[in-house]
Structure 1
Amino acid sequence: MSQPFKDAIAICKAILRNGYDAYVVNAQLQKELLDGRETEIDIACEPDYEELGKLFPSLERSNEEGVVATMREGGALIRFYHTDTEESSHPEHTLARITPRMLRVLEEQGKMPPALSCPFIAHTGDVYEGFEDFSKGKVQLRGIPDETLRRNYLLVIRAMRFAANFDLPIEPNSWMAIIRAASRVLDYVRISDIMDEWRKVEAECMWKFVQLLFDSQVLHGLLPEVAALSRVRQQRNDEGAEETVLDHTLECVRHYPEGEYNYDWLGTFAMLFHDVGKLYTAEYFDGKWNFYQHHRVGAKVTRKLLRRLHFSPEDVEQVCHLVRHHMRFHFMLTDRGIRRFKSLDEYPRLIEMARADLEARSGSYTYFNHNMKYLERAETPEQMLEPLLNGNEIMEFTNLHPGPQVGMLRDALLKAQVAGEVTSVPEAVDYVREYKAKNFG
């Protein structure tokens, strides 16, 4: 081994000893390319210019393509390039085998094979790296889409995030590359990185993002239980039309942020799981699909899925709570029922979930409006919601016979109690007698 390469290896070891990765790029090819030329050696390393400068004082900045810095050592010109540090790149792209400088020499010597026509040297960049300018009105991967994704499969998720948030279509060739790469996303991309991208999706755009995850089949690998809802059918509303549970779920996710909680990311995310239990509870009987206890089963399934997605324990409990109780507001509640509902944590979110569900179904608001009116009554102390005298006692003190007059008198007594005009049983007896004399003779 010649001295320049020994020096280059010594430089790599110095970088390694300081906690960074470094290696000589394709040493055999570099040796063959010398051919009487000035000795030039390319090194791929992890640290940036500032960190390298602390290790090698003679370092100089460079304007060459992909070159972080240059340095002369023992008569050889050393070029430093960034090595690939992306956790989500294909294994073949982890090790750079050619640099732009080596490519130029190969072209001059007429030795460039087709496989080396598109070298990749990793370098740090912003979040839009790998994408064409969005001024074109679409989300498009830069260069050859398949090769761009092989360098960083996280771009699959990021492309769909941009498409959802900016309401832009994905360029056809880029979309096909995304579909082809879908099976590799979970192979090479960390769940925490996927969720970091997902949390940057606006609440009102989440339904588009999830639809893209499903269409690209990324959702099938990430959350197969949710994707499987596309094969579960249900009755949409009383008119009898059918829909898939996934279509209904996406509609719910779309409608949830339209109310007061338009920035509620976690509530919108919970809407995605509210019917996941239907996959396990579906039962066809008497010409109709039934999903008894799907909210309870769904909460248990959701807990498993959120742990898979590395959610914090606090968020897991909150989302599971919303899934568990999302059916509470769908039934016509009594005074006691509405008070029990209002005692639940996050009950305003549960109301929004019920509203989104109705919007998605184009359903009737009869029960919903009834419950909203009773919700106002829940502010009244419970003892004020029952009259001090029951029907039998009212008939005893007023000598009335069973009939509508007793009910009218009972309602009047209750209103007087709420208004504070009647506060005790003796006052109630006097009130019903006076009311009967005044209104019924």
Structure 2
Amino acid sequence: MTDVQETALRELLRIAPVIDELGARFEAAGEQIALVGGPVRDAMLGRLQNDLDFTTSARPEVTEKLVEGWADAVWDMGRAFGTIGCRKGPWQVEITTYRSEQYDADSRKPSVDYGDSLNGDLGRRDFTVNAMAVAVPGNEFEDPYGGLVDLANGVLRTPGRPEDSFSDDPLRMMRAARFAAQLGFTVAPEVVEAMTSMAARIEIVSAERIRDELVKLVTSPYPRRGLTLLVQTGLADHVLPELPALALERDEHHRHKDVYEHTLTVLEQTMDLEDRLGGGPDFVARFAALMHDVGKPRTRRFAEDGTVTFHHHDVVGAKITRKRMKALRFSNDEIAAVTHLVELHLRFHGYGSGEWTDSAVRRYVRDAGDQLERLHVLTRADCTTRNKRKAERLSRTYDDLEQRIERIAEEEGRAAVRPDLDGNQIMELLGLGPGPEVGAAYKHLLELRLEHGPMSEEDAKAALLAWHADRTDRRDS
């Protein structure tokens, strides 16, 4: 028995109470059922999670009857695709009738036809490493397409011709990149060739499905592998064209950093700093790293001395990022967070060697808002210079900025920069109702707070009354 098989056996023993009971129920009803796909692959890698996928000869209505009374909860949202879901203790279970699905040439949604054999079902799956099964009860291992060998060699291949597989479901091309990023696998040459020749077919897939694959890719352990494959095959031209656009043409007369390689390095350095954000993959931080320089192609200008400038690429990049994320149907909160970071990623470079006043530091914190920690990470990750002395100087300077932020926060006892009077106090003091005048007063007090730090309530009231009196005099004159 190989090490991979021994690992899988240990994992299967761990879930034996679930798969044995389920297998016995289906066998007694004269139906076949097998653990299939990702869970089998992950069992062999020693990383099986609580999501279990099964395939069965039973039709959905039969499956639903067989799990009722056994499962803690049952749902049928996937019935149209032959899937019944249920929960048993900590396990989330999906059971799908043997099937074959394919896209029409101009359809975004697959049509589903039920199959009649386990091998037929495995043959329609995306990659050989996902086309293995364990028939239950009895734990018989089924591997008709050599997935175990490919798993051991770390290779992604399709069970049949990749052109047929990608024609059936073009999203599988994105999944190839995602699995390369998740598992660290290489992609077989014939699969890369098919992805390259069929890249445009990805456009029939819905934005939401593409977005979900992109999120999984970016939050994987090896996102550079997947992103590089998207660019290499031309898929990125259709799903994230801002990324290949970063590979700016260079010539012997003009000097600038390789923006594409710089971006991938910033992404990896962001990953190295994620423990500052609580650990684990942080999509917002990673995607901001990936998009932070997308404004450079549009803002590149050549100077006579051979240098290249990218003035305002932060602002332009934020607009480009917002447009792309909207097209991919990201949530408003995710769009706001990522674009905010892209727009602010250069702000630190105005700090010089620490010349900022305390009011400038307060404004930095105020402008960053709830993205301050991610901005710390992105700014540090954005330093990719090979000049060790320069890198150390930038790191020390940012250390100084963070220390000043902490000191000012501690001295002023604030978690966020707010005026010394709230809206209700402003209205009561000035005898106003809700309206734009209250907003103007609030903004004035906020500017005073940013410029001078906190004031006592008495001083804040005096400053507000003086401002209001001057404003009234100017309006009446």
In which range does the TM-score fall when normalised by the shorter chain? 0.5 to 0.7
Structure 1 unaligned residues grouped into runs of 5+ = 1-46, 56-67, 69-80, 102-118, 386-441
Amino acid at match of 2:161: I
Change (3 A) 1:360 1:304: farther
**Distance (whole Å) between structure 1 residues aligned to residue 116 and residue 316 of structure 2:** 57
Give 1:375's aligned residue: 402
Report the Cα distance in structure 2 between the residues aligned to 1:99 and 1:381, rounded to whole angstroms.
67
Out of 309, 323, 326, the position equivalent to 1:290 is 309
Deviation at 1:382, TM superposition (A): 9.0
Picking from 359, 365, 390, the partner of 1:342 is 365
Partner-residue secondary structure (3-state), 2:391: coil
Distance apart, 1:317 and its partner CA = 0.4
CA offset at residue 48 of structure 1? 6.2
Matched AA of 2:384: E
Alignment of 1:175-254 (within 5 A): 175-187=192-204, 189-201=205-217, 202-233=219-250, 242-254=256-268
C-alpha displacement of 1:312? 0.5
Question: Aligned equivalents of 2:220 and 2:357: distance in 1?
Answer: 33
Q: What is the alpha-carbon root mean square deviation over aligned residues?
A: 4.1
Distance 1:284 1:159, change over 3 A: same
How many angstroms apart in 1 are the aligned matches of 2:240 and 2:126?
30
Contact 1:283–1:290 under 8 Å retained in 2: yes
The one-character-per-residue Cα deviations of 1:304-349 (angstroms, maximum 9, x if unpaired) are: 1110111001100000100000111234242433332223221221
Aligned equivalent of 1:136: 153
Amino acid at match of 1:185: I
SS at match of 2:399: helix
Kindly provide the amino acid, as one letter, of the partner of residue 247 in structure 1. Answer: E
Mapped to 2, the partners of 1:166 and 1:123 lie a distance apart of 21
Alignment check: 8 A CA contact 1:298 1:323 kept: yes
1:299 to 315, 318, 335: 318
* Aligned residue in 2 for 1:366: 393
| 1:190/1:358 CA distance change after superposition, 3 Å | same
Larger Rg: 1
Question: For the Cα contact (< 8 Å) 1:83–1:122, is it kept in 2?
Answer: no
The code of the aligned residue for 1:365 comes to E
Give the total of aligned pairs.
294
Show the counterpart of 2:60: 50
Counterpart in 2 of 1:270?
288
The SS at the match of 2:267 is: helix
1:370/1:54 CA distance change after superposition, 3 Å: closer
Q: Which amino acid aligns with 2:268?
A: R
Cα drift, residue 227 of structure 1: 1.8
Residues 88 and 348 (structure 1 numbering): CA distance in 2 closer, same or farther, change over 3 Å? farther
Match of 1:326 in 2: 345
- Confirm or deny: 8 A CA contact 2:301 2:309 kept in the other structure: yes
Q: Distance in 1 between matches of 2:342 and 2:392?
A: 21
TM-aligned CA deviation for residue 206 of structure 1: 2.1
SS of 2:302's equivalent? strand
Per-residue deviation, residues 198-234 of structure 1 (Å, max 9, x unmatched): 2223354222221111011101112223321212559
> Offset at 1:96?
9.4
**Counterparts of 1:168 and 1:174 in 2: how far apart (Å)?**
13
1:340–1:135 CA distance, 2 compared to 1 (3 A): same
Q: CA offset at residue 155 of structure 1?
A: 1.1
> 1:90: how far off?
7.3
Contact 1:96–1:121 (CA<8 Å) still a contact in 2? no
1:244 Cα deviation after fit = 2.8
The whole-number CA distance in structure 1 between the counterparts of 2:126 and 2:321 is 36
In structure 2, what is the Cα distance between the partners aligned to 1:256 and 1:121?
38
Gaps of 5+ in 2: 1-56, 66-81, 83-96, 133-144, 413-477
Q: Corresponding residue for 2:180?
A: 163
Residue 145 of structure 1 is matched in structure 2 by 162
Which whole-Å CA distance do the structure 1 matches of 2:377 and 2:210 have between them? 27
Q: C-alpha distance in 2, partners of 1:306/1:121?
A: 35
Residues 95/290 of structure 1: CA separation in 2 closer, same or farther (3 Å cut): closer
Letter in 2 for 1:280: R
2:378 to 342, 350, 353: 353
**Could you tell me how far apart the structure 2 residues matched to 1:257 and 1:180 are?**
32
For the residue of structure 1 that corresponds to 2:156, the secondary structure is coil
Contact 1:282 1:290 in 2 (8 A): yes
**In 2, are the aligned partners of 1:160 and 1:212 still within 8 Å (CA)?**
yes
- Specify the code of the residue in structure 1 equivalent to 2:309: N
Counterpart-to-counterpart distance in 2, 1:320 and 1:146: 37
Taking the aligned partners of 1:270 and 1:88, their CA distance within structure 2 comes to 36
* 3-state SS of paired residue (2:285): helix
Going from structure 1 to structure 2, the CA distance change for 1:242 and 1:381 (only over 3 Å counts) comes to closer
Q: Decide whether the 8 Å contact of 2:266 with 2:289 is kept in 1.
A: yes
Partner of 2:333: 314
Residues 42-69 of structure 1 show CA distances to partners (whole Å, capped at 9, x for unaligned) of: xxxxx961327999xxxxxxxxxxxx9x
Q: Cα distance, 1:293 vs. partner?
A: 0.9
